[in-house]
Structure 1
Amino acid sequence: MTTTSAHRETDARGSNLLEMSWDPITRIVGSLGVYTKIDWPARRVVECHSTSSIFRGYSIFMKGKDPRDAHFITSRICGICGDNHATCSVYAQNMAYGVKPPHLGEWILNLGEAAEYMFDHNIYQENLVGVDYCEKMVAETNPEVLELARNTESPHAGDHGYRTIADIMHALNPIEGEFYREALAMSRLTREMFCLMEGRHVHPSTLYPGGVGTVASVQLFTDYLSRLMRYVEFLKRVVPMHDDLFDFFYQALPGYEEVGRRRVLLGCWGSFNDPAHCDFSYRNMADWGRHMFVTPGVIVDGELVTNDLVDINLGIRILLGSSYYEDWDDQPMFVTTDPLGNPVDRHHPWNQHTIPRPGRRDFDDKYSWVMSPRWFDGTDHLPLDTGGGPIARLWSTALSGLVDIGYVRATGHSVRITLPKTATVGERAYEWAIPRWSNALERNRARTYFQAYAAACALYFAEQALAEVRAGNTRTWEPFDVPQDAVSCGFTEAVRGVLSHHMVIRDGRIANYHPYPPTPWNASVRDVYGTPGPYEDAVQNTPIFENNPPESFKGIDIMRTVRSFDPCLPCGVHMHTGTGRTLQVVHTPHAFTPAG
């Protein structure tokens, strides 16, 4: 159930502000709540606070555990992207144990993670986000837009089969919509693909440090490919359909590029290791990170700042400010220098101490259980976002220009994707070009293109895996020993963005362990410097295009903004504004003496 409140107040400038809240919205890192103040006459959100009301504490109860159990435990952090956590934990363990999996083991893991991206992005885009743009929702929030959609031909109707934009919107209606139901069927295929590689979804049963327990055969990869090609054929309708839909919103609502727009501050930690280059050693991390098939990178104002995973790791800072925790400045540091001798900051995850101090929610002080991850560029603590994952991944990969495997190629300004001939549709080529904005529509568009990117990568991974099997290289696991002491980290991309696990081993046991998934970055709150987190920043600059009056306001532009970040199960959103209440605020003029 979502509790929503609304009331009016007048600010010091005499503006009429409508306070509205949606709490809870989602279930990752506790329950997400969004509290806003809307300047109704100006039709703009002027203030936003993002909250999380549940403490989880994985970093506390991981202490003292056998490090070999880390991936089984941390996969339970999330019931949606648990395999991403298991993968990241395995990467951190590989580094700690000094083990390099056989090539085939890595190709299998890549195939599993590619299937997860396809599964999750598909069901989220079509069955959750798609509802925000469906016929029923648009009819309730912007009926004039639906009328225009009925009279607007779809530019790519020949590719996806929907003559008008309204036909696309109708197909996205929950349950009754043709495309809505088709996407649900596709989610079954992609989940089966995942289970072929990693045994069980969403908590893998065949994933281990040193490789995988999957029994590799030609038949295994044939079963995967038969499903993948059906999904590829589906994508040849998905990509042009979403281009038509999102382009239409720019046309129908001039200025809609401002919805959910924020400064381009993107983080990507890279995904899909290349076993020919990745040895999981910290010393070589910058090199093998750049050989990932999704290139890591920090992007500031559209420019690539670094794609070096060592730099990325050392720049991570965990700040507090508005979070229900005490600082750990007086606590001992676990790590003072990294394995290369670089100094490690006290607020790096390796040195974090989790000291919970619950309290009353106060937007002028502490109001959330989410900390504030930031990336320090040497001058500023940057509130990076993941854009829901795909926009950061594609942007970083495009700018680096390092990926070229036939099916996908990064050009320095775009990513080109080629999907081969399928049962009824010929070869198709798509190009995701770096957009002008990081906003709600472009985050959603990137999610569509990244499904095609993941599918194209999976075709390449399957070819490499089959080549290994046919050459007789069927080993998928390498034995290892657990050291008494180690410092390690794992970097990958969860479905909705950056994921890192940071581990310290002392006397053969976990002494410190901190996982940082994407939602703490996106849903972070105002830090010690007063800098708002990405949800807060994106929402509090958003214009209101919805036509409903306050008493029937649905907040669709705000919901589209939050959902564009893929905050994990936003299907939990329900709204009830009630009748609201009016606050009479009296401002007394004060005497003051101008400076000078």
Structure 2
Amino acid sequence: MVQNLSQSAGQETRELVEMSWDPITRIIGNLGIHTKIDFANREVVECRSTSSLFRGYSVFMKGKDPRDAHFITSRICGICGDNHATCSVYAQNMAYGVKMPHLAEWIVNLGEAAEFMFDHTIFQDNLVFVDFCEQMVKETNPSLLHRAENTAAPRSDEHGHRTIADIMRAFNPFTGGMYREALQMSRLTREMFCLMEGRHVHPSTLYPGGVGTVATPQLFSDYLARLLKVLDFVKKAVPMNDDLFDFFYAALPGYEEVGRRRIMLGCWGAFQNPDVVDYTYRNMPEWGRKQFVTPGIIVDGELVTNSLVDINVGIRILLGSSYYDDWENDGEVFVTRDPLGNPIDRRHPWNQTTIPRPQKRDLGEGGKYSWVMSPRWLDPRTGDLLALDTGGGPLARLWSTALNGLVETDLIRATGHSVKITLPKSEGSPEKHLEWHIPKWSNTIERDRARVYFIAYAAAAAFHFVTQAMDEVRAGRTKVFQDFAVPDDAIGCGFHEAVRGVLSHHLVIRDGKIANYHPYPPTPWNASPRDVHGTPGPYEDAVQGLPIFEENGPENFKGIDIMRTVRSFDPCLPCGVHMYLGGGRTLKRLHSPTLGAGA
């Protein structure tokens, strides 16, 4: 939709063009981006992020057997369902008071590492890079493509492409070499996941208390054989990404402002350390810090906290521009204090009540326009409710891990200002050393750059995990499941990283059944609309004020810089909103003399 309008600001009148992309393609089709653009000044003046789909797992989970929670919640998404299942298992482990055997933890870590490699590869090379490929750049920035044809690729000896334009051609859909090779890597990494957890993307061998995977030396050898092939691909992909992204900065001065927002990043941590994790709430800060991806909240480049208890207590779910009624005075209070005595707010996921209120979309000031709620984190230093983002997942994960400086294995190490990654010798390439440095900006380019580095991080971590798992098997420690009992009353919370960022599941059990259940994936954090205080969500904030570098005018405008920015967050709307059908209603009842009523 395109509409011309005028907007006055003081003495200045700006001619704005209203443009919408709804739905945005290449992802689930219910994300809309609605903008007002000042073409004379090459700037996006205003942005609204909308979602037209409502689902509602928080509603229909009530009354279910809590042991079914991970099987049900994995269906929230057909992309990161295993992340949901894993996070649900973590929450159940806490509620049941059960610790998984070491080998089970390594198996879950191996499955999740494969998922990160699978999803990030297919998204980066087959979806994101369509926006950077030769065909797209030719349509939106032909002068940039001309410069790319005449710019040598600095790391050509590492990836084999002579010019930047050659790299762009490698990502052309269906014809580019890297585009096709990424599809093959996605097949291998999906097989790796299935070896560990039975089925992708809804695990069949993952349970609270452990896994049902039969752990044999052959199982881990099969995983490792595929991992070595993935390493060859990653060693080539990282320098290709660096060359292309560095070119954009050099060729388009000011491009660092595209998608840039204040540094407010959240990471909930990933890859449990079996030697430390016990799933008790009391010890959650300690075992959280020992994960192989370190949790943390980063504001303006400073690490505010790495305690999962602090992170948990500070979560608030706000409304505002969302299609819901407030539960402040109507909903039941399930948890007033956490197991450590910290007060739990009415707007915390443990106490949330979902009250959907369908209505007409209103994109005006103060209007309601999205089924996504607005998660925020209360900064105890200032009292501000922060619209944290996940940097698409990898940016926050690497940034938090680097700043914490706690991870140190033979292949991955956090230094306080960077993350060092060693990729072992593989089938077709020697050992390679990579280092991701904390960038100056949280912007479109750095979100995308971090993604390929996290593929490398996950691959190196997987190599470490498979080595540890094989050591367990050789030592005869093959137990993968611990029995447990479901208590009559309990609470639990799971913290994990979905592919595109922070993931938490909050569980309340009463009389042996689920009384309240709220999953909060990365999409509500990233795609949230303006909250009750008028604070825009991260998509909106990153697009609003964005400078336009596309060479097309309003009549042929594709919005490529807007699309690159939204996609840099790795958007996936099924996790943002949920479905609820109520009690249903009979549309028509058929009677058959053979089958009987209701056939």
Question: What TM-score do you get using the length of structure 1 for normalisation?
Answer: 0.94
Q: CA deviation at 1:360?
A: 1.3
CA change 1:461–1:521 in 2 (3 A) is same
SS in structure 1 of the partner of residue 226 of structure 2 = helix
Which residue of structure 2 aligns with residue 295 of structure 1?
A: 294
Give the 5 Å matches for 1:167-186.
167-186=166-185
Q: CA deviation at 1:332?
A: 2.5
Indicate the larger mover: 362-371 or 524-533: 362-371
Indicate the larger mover: 543-552 or 109-118: 543-552
Give the 5 Å matches for 1:162-561.
162-330=161-329, 331-363=331-363, 364=365, 365-378=367-380, 379-561=383-565
Measured in 2, the distance between the counterparts of 1:424 and 1:510 equals: 51
SS in structure 2 of the partner of residue 11 of structure 1 = strand
Q: Percent of pairs identical after alignment?
A: 73
Q: CA deviation at 1:163?
A: 0.3
Which residue of structure 2 aligns with residue 8 of structure 1?
A: 4
Measured in 2, the distance between the counterparts of 1:346 and 1:521 equals: 19
SS in structure 1 of the partner of residue 406 of structure 2 = coil
Measured in 1, the distance between the counterparts of 2:182 and 2:143 equals: 28
Which residue of structure 2 aligns with residue 579 of structure 1?
A: none
Amino acid corresponding to residue 469 of structure 2 in structure 1? A
SS in structure 2 of the partner of residue 14 of structure 1 = strand
In 1, are the aligned partners of 2:155 and 2:243 still within 8 Å (CA)?
Answer: yes
Measured in 2, the distance between the counterparts of 1:542 and 1:205 equals: 44
Measured in 2, the distance between the counterparts of 1:27 and 1:334 equals: 40
Measured in 2, the distance between the counterparts of 1:343 and 1:252 equals: 52
Measured in 1, the distance between the counterparts of 2:131 and 2:259 equals: 14
Q: CA deviation at 1:568?
A: 2.8
Which residue of structure 1 aligns with residue 93 of structure 2?
A: 94
Q: CA deviation at 1:424?
A: 2.5
Query: Is there any run of 5+ residues in structure 2 with no aligned partner, and where?
Result: 575-599
Measured in 1, the distance between the counterparts of 2:454 and 2:504 equals: 20
Question: Residues 413-448 of structure 1: CA distance to partner in whole angstroms, max 9, x if unpaired?
Answer: 000000111123111101000000000000000001
In 2, are the aligned partners of 1:29 and 1:54 still within 8 Å (CA)?
Answer: no
Give the 5 Å matches for 1:112-131.
112-131=111-130
Question: Residues 101-137 of structure 1: CA distance to partner in whole angstroms, max 9, x if unpaired?
Answer: 1000000000000000000000000000011000000
SS in structure 1 of the partner of residue 13 of structure 2 = coil
Measured in 1, the distance between the counterparts of 2:539 and 2:216 equals: 45
CA change 1:418–1:224 in 2 (3 A) is same
Superposed CA RMSD:
1.1
Measured in 2, the distance between the counterparts of 1:366 and 1:458 equals: 44
Measured in 2, the distance between the counterparts of 1:88 and 1:492 equals: 6
SS in structure 2 of the partner of residue 416 of structure 1 = strand
In 1, are the aligned partners of 2:31 and 2:573 still within 8 Å (CA)?
Answer: no
In 2, are the aligned partners of 1:112 and 1:193 still within 8 Å (CA)?
Answer: yes
Measured in 2, the distance between the counterparts of 1:24 and 1:72 equals: 29
CA change 1:110–1:26 in 2 (3 A) is farther
Indicate the larger mover: 411-420 or 327-336: 327-336
Question: Residues 26-84 of structure 1: CA distance to partner in whole angstroms, max 9, x if unpaired?
Answer: 69898111100001100000100001111101100000000000000000000000000
In 2, are the aligned partners of 1:26 and 1:568 still within 8 Å (CA)?
Answer: no
Measured in 2, the distance between the counterparts of 1:500 and 1:148 equals: 45
Amino acid corresponding to residue 367 of structure 1 in structure 2? Y
In 1, are the aligned partners of 2:26 and 2:127 still within 8 Å (CA)?
Answer: no
Amino acid corresponding to residue 282 of structure 1 in structure 2? Y
Measured in 2, the distance between the counterparts of 1:231 and 1:172 equals: 18
User: Deviation above 4 Å: which 4+ runs of structure 1?
Assistant: 26-30
Amino acid corresponding to residue 6 of structure 2 in structure 1? T
Question: Residues 187-233 of structure 1: CA distance to partner in whole angstroms, max 9, x if unpaired?
Answer: 10000000000000000000000010000010000000000011011
Q: CA deviation at 1:24?
A: 1.4
SS in structure 2 of the partner of residue 324 of structure 1 = coil
SS in structure 1 of the partner of residue 123 of structure 2 = helix
Which residue of structure 1 aligns with residue 588 of structure 2?
A: none
Count of residues paired in the alignment: 566
Query: Is there any run of 5+ residues in structure 1 with no aligned partner, and where?
Result: 571-596
Measured in 2, the distance between the counterparts of 1:92 and 1:282 equals: 10
Which residue of structure 2 aligns with residue 582 of structure 1?
A: none
In 1, are the aligned partners of 2:110 and 2:466 still within 8 Å (CA)?
Answer: yes
Q: CA deviation at 1:569?
A: 8.5
Amino acid corresponding to residue 140 of structure 1 in structure 2? E
